[in-house]
Amino acid sequence: MCGIFGYINYLVEKDRKYIIETLVNGLSRLEYRGYDSAGLAVDGDRKNEVFAFKEVGKVAKLKQLIADSNPDTTKVFDSHAGIAHTRWATHGQPSRLNCHPHRSDPSWQFSVVHNGIITNYKELRVLLEGKGFHFETETDTECIAKLAKYLYDEHPDIEFLVLAKAVIKELQGAFGLLLKSVHFPHEVIAARKGSPLVVGVRTQKKMKVDFVDVEYAEAGPLPAERASQNVAIKKASANLLAPPDKSLLHRSQSRAFLSDDGQPIPTEFFLSSDPSAIVEHTKKVLYLEDDDIAHIHEGSLNIHRLNKDDGTSNVRAIQTLELELQEIMKGKFDHFMQKEIFEQPESVINTMRGRLDIENKKVTLGGLKQYIGTIRRCRRLIFIACGTSYHSCMAVRGAFEELTEIPISVELASDFLDRQAPVFRDDTCVFVSQSGETADSLMALRYCLERGALTVGIVNVVGSSISLLTHCGVHINAGPEIGVASTKAYTSQFVAMMMFALSLSEDRASKQRRREDIMEGLGKVSEQFKQILKLNDTVKALCTKFFKDQKSLLLLGRGSQFSTALEGALKIKEISYLHCEAVMSGELKHGVLALVDENLPIIMILTRDDIFAKSLNAYQQGLCRLHFEKKVMLTLIVVIARGGRPIVICNPHDSEFSSELTEKIEIPMTVDCLQGLLNVIPLQLIAYWLAVAEGSDLRVAIVHARWNTEIVSALVAGARKSLLSAGVKERNIVIQDVPGSYELPFAAQKIYSSSQIESSINPINSATSAVTDLLSSASLTDLGKTDESNSSTNTPPSKAKESSESPLTTPFSAIIAIGVLIKGETMHFEYIADAASHGLMKVQLDMGVPVVFGLLTVLDEEQGKARAGLKQGHHCHGEDWGRTAVELGVKRQTWSEGRFT
């Protein structure tokens, strides 16, 4: 999942430091999307010069590369255009060469960043190679920059917009791209086709209008329109009191970017593939539609399209972004997924706010109001979605069939397209997507529109492609979902579609009582979510007890709970990388039962509903199979460590399930068709805790020098924070200090040797004191502790201390050695740096333990503070070292067991 970010300032003075920081911070906001490399391009010190920085790994490594390159950050630009990108490799391995931005030639005449895939890149590459172009990378993106240069070389007088149109016309596939050129300074072309792009606008004066006109190629430019706005102002400058000739302005230039006298106003533009990267700069945004080509130049934003007769609007609205910065921050939580699980009591309220009137038993969905009568008369309802959204459609299918008595079909978008399924004019097709940009769903939407069906969009992101292309729809208002695994979007989609079903059945008197019960149930959902989330620590303990070292997991559900099982299995696979299979309970006897023994963990969803008795049969079959395997009648042997007992999600105090035979997760009872909404929460928690448990059996030592204590303390705190976030227990983190960086190799060697001796003397996990201070130096007891770790009010329920448990006494899984050497302050600077590095490397090779080199060599104290995250906008390198220690520690364990996965 790649990310795009761009920043253009016009008549707004900004130094290079601000520009680079804006681009890097924009990329940081896009980190959640997943990526393997990052890069950016800005103007150089001389005319027609470009500074490009590209690095494999995290954005923090790109930031460090820029700092090491030491560009002149004081240079001021009154107008400038910069582009940046995070790449997820699709064509070519992650490398600096394959990383974006890509260039047309060594002098960077054209540079481009691109999301998506150019399907005809091989044909373009062959063509351009035949014209004498040499390709440096394995990517599909490079052909865009080289094609632009080829066309420019052929037509040196061509305008940037005309050039961009010619390039884009040759591209096939899905893309969102930003194009920058030294021949057209301070200008950027942004184009969208199947990959989202949003433009943020920040002006020093209030914009007069909130839209931008769209210009079409067929219209043909007026003669005067060939002049730029600067030319128009120059022609009017003979009489300074006379207003400029506005007929010379570009036809599509919106009045939004003009002052009272017709001149452009100082403006900043922020371009991104995700509005979450823009919200900290401005809330005024414009969403590009498919096939839009935006030209940003001289403080104006012009939008063009190649074709006019495509049914799209001839304006693009400048909207106010309903998003707060704190919504995209983790706050007191360790991970976005954890935060979003705990946000669900509020997110479902937001979905229902202003729509569900429980007191008057009424549902109002404004986005469907004009079409609700047509939908009631439709031949069938076809729900089309992918992944989690598909599961939410499966979950409400029964309720739609019951309340509306309309035939319901639920389709996976990819399979729907593969089959070229028949769609008719009197069908209603409902497209469900969190982002509103799901590629398969978008293609299926266009397929249905071509066949004349009424289309409904149920999405979370305002201004997304599905919300723009469908006839009507519902925004689920779940708030931004940053975590890769969808959690709160699932529950909000569930609620939104239940309200859709209630709205469709308003005219059915026979369903009135049932509708009222469902509305009352929806009104209680938020409080019931809060009750379930109190089981967080219980679920965490259950995961540790039953799922440790497991390779597979079975999830059973029946009826509407089968969709809950599917969603739970997807979350577990997606986040914890544990194989998990969801099985319809009724199918257990058709082959699946052969897998069941005391070693296979099983989670069974057995809350009370109309088919509870049938679901209970699967539970009894599972027990009988276990009895048979152990040759025991009436008694189930409990094998705690191997997960031999089924784990049952049931309602409170259900007498059917004996505590002697099962582990129970008790969920409040609600209306049967809403029970899945509650049952999915513990499965989300299980997926989360299985994922973070990766480092739970690791033991890590942090050994640090006592010089430059302020910087070192921040680095140790960052490392400790990452270790805790990865699931390493606080009691299994040992922190020791030594006089200086020169002593780090000796300390690392001895501390590991001591842990080996300790392991041989004491049994695993026995109570013991920590490793002794090897060099008789006082440990910094509170070193690395943050306000969050000392404040109970800032700690989520999952972070409760487990002081009753004993620390591990196994040898250390990894060692982090931290020291800071400042040139000019440290005697024998180069010698100590080399000696410490070589010494730590020798410890790593001789002892067979991963040693993370946390040795900073900096020019001055300010640079050290920046790398420790003590300066605003800078990243703490200690956090990277902590994550590296966990990764290497886990790999060391698997390799020592003869495994590679």
Nearest one of 546, 376, 524, 464 to 192, comparing CA atoms: 464
599 vs 132: CA distance, rounded Å: 63
Exposed e or buried b for every residue in 596-612, given b needs 16+ CB within 10 A? bebebbbbbbbbebeeb
Nearest one of 118, 117, 39 to 85, comparing CA atoms: 39
What is the DSSP code string of 271-305? Answer: EESSGGGTTTT-SEEEEPPTT-EEEEETTEEEEEE
Catalytic residue (one of 2, 143, 378, 472): 2
On whether the CB atoms of residues 13 and 78 are closer than 8 A, the answer is yes
Q: Which helix (H) or strand (E) holds 528?
A: helix 512-533
Characterize the bridge pairing of strands 647-650 and 663-666. Answer: parallel
Q: CA distances (Å), 100 to each of 34, 83, 95, 157, 195, in order?
A: 15, 10, 10, 28, 17
The DSSP secondary-structure symbol of 464 reads -
Q: Which two tokens stand for residue 819?
A: 């020291």
Phi–psi pair at 395, nearest 5 degrees: -65, -30
Provide the residue count of the chain: 901
423 vs 441: CA distance, rounded Å: 15
Please confirm whether the linkage preceding 850 is cis (ω < 30° from 0).
Answer: no
Sign of the CA dihedral 200, 202, 203, 209?
positive
On whether the CB atoms of residues 797 and 537 are closer than 8 A, the answer is yes
Residue with tokens 């509020």: 346
Judged by phi (left if over 0) then psi (alpha if -120 to 50, else beta), residue 479 lies in: left
Residue with tokens 């884009």: 168
Alpha helices in 586-737 (DSSP H): 612-630, 675-692, 709-725
- CA 743 to the chain's CA centroid: 41
End-to-end CA distance of the chain: 23
Beta strands in 469-534 (DSSP E): 472-475
Nearest one of 252, 254, 284, 256 to 270, comparing CA atoms: 284
On whether the CB atoms of residues 265 and 204 are closer than 8 A, the answer is yes
SS3 709: helix
574 vs 484: CA distance, rounded Å: 9
Question: What amino acid occupies position 76?
Answer: V
On whether the CB atoms of residues 126 and 141 are closer than 8 A, the answer is no
Residues paired with residue 102 on neighbouring β-strands, in sequence order? 112
What is the DSSP code string of 83-133? Answer: EEEEE--SSS-S-TTTSSSEESSTT-SEEEEEEEEETTHHHHHHHHHHTT-
Contacts of 615 (CB under 8 A, 6+ apart): 557, 558, 559, 561, 585, 604, 605, 606
On whether the CB atoms of residues 184 and 172 are closer than 8 A, the answer is no
Report the half-sphere exposure of 320 (CA within 13 A, side-chain side): 4
Radius of gyration, alpha carbons of the chain: 30
Please say if 2 is a catalytic residue: yes
Residues with catalytic function: 2
